[in-house]
Amino acid sequence: MDILLGVLITSFIIHAFLIVPFVNFLYNLKFFKNHTAVAEEKTDEASVHIRSKARTPEGGGLLILVVTSFIFAFTLPLLRRLGFEITHVYPINDEINIIFFTFVSFGLLGLYDDIIKFFELDRQEGYTGLKTSYKFLIQGVLGLIIGAMMFINLGIDIIHIPFFGVIHFGLWFIPTSAFLIVAFANAVNITDGMDGLASGLLMISLFGFLILSTSILDTPLSIFIALWLGGLIAFLYFNVFPARLFMGDVGALAFGATFAMVGLLTGKVVALMIVGLPFLVDGFSSLLQILWVKFFHRRIFPIAPLHYLLLKIGWSEPKIVQRAWLVGIMLVIFGIWLSII
């Protein structure tokens, strides 16, 4: 644990040193939305909130993605050279490849979407970014590839269910893992709509999985989570209310997919669902709204996702975020408890 804490602190210092010039770079690049999907005539609190964030740069996730990946590539060889014992549950090279592939592939997809959206490169689609159907198709393919890599290269086909034991999914593990990866990628992306909401919840959740990965003596995964956490904490300093920086799709998609992958690697899918429940609830509220409008031609909520609904009924943004963090803390405690009984 002392090594992991040192790795986390080192990652935080490096990210903290780089993030200020990176924020200034994004402001100079004008890497923010020039428009929003909310009409100017709408004056309710949620609509005003959405428009007020339009000139805040996004893309903070790119810094974490690049720096964390770069440090991770050198940390394990350095620890080996210094004589530290590296324990692992799976073939180490295959595990590292899966971590990198998930983190980078979903990050590149999000970055492509951000670039199209912010620079309005697709004139026919306006500022909406990559077409939703294409985005889901690519995410599904990436999710299936990751699931297949875990099943074939690592031999994972189990999910631990508290009180029932281990369940073998066989080949069904591949589509199941793909579904979870895509679900969390989009749920985190949807939740990233308020200052510090997604990043704070993710930070809290990852501390839980850092404990779980340490308990199964998976050094590569623990090192990666610690490095990721260091970057998130540095980012959160600029993402809390009032935010100077958002993570963007490049961060939200990469972080959500990788978060699900971490849960799958530990075999603690139930813990993943519990710890990640705030993301799932917020994402499901948005999905339910879309499906209700599609099939019943009316809204089930005045506005979605849930965090905007709470804003509309009178909760302030800091109150929503801070209470979500408190819920997240208790869910992490509950999820860890279920995983170790």
Residues at the binding site are: 189, 249
The CA–CA distances, whole Å, from 30 to 34, 153, 196, 292 equal 9, 42, 21, 36
**Which residue in the block uniquely carries the two structure tokens 């997604």?**
198
Residue 185: Cβ-neighbour burial (10 angstroms; 0-12, 13-18, 19+): buried
Residue 101: Cβ-neighbour burial (10 angstroms; 0-12, 13-18, 19+): middle
Assigned token pair, 277: 């429940």
Backbone angles phi and psi of 198, in degrees to 5: -70, -45
Compute the CA torsion angle 70, 72, 73, 77 (nearest 10 deg): 140
- The gap from C-alpha 264 to its chain's centroid, in whole angstroms, comes to 14
Q: Please enumerate, as own/partner, the contacts of 156-163 that have beta carbons within 8 Å and a separation of 24 or more.
A: 156/90, 156/264, 156/265, 156/267, 158/267, 159/267, 159/269, 159/270, 160/267, 160/268, 160/269, 160/270, 160/339, 161/270, 162/270, 162/338, 162/339, 162/341, 163/341
Q: What sign does the dihedral 3-9-12-17 (CA atoms) show?
A: negative
- Residue numbers belonging to the annotated binding site for Mg(2+): 189, 249
Contact 224, 67 (CB under 8 A): no
Side-chain-side CA neighbours of 303 within 13 Å: the count stands at: 17
**Distance separating alpha carbons of residues 183 and 283, to the nearest angstrom:** 8
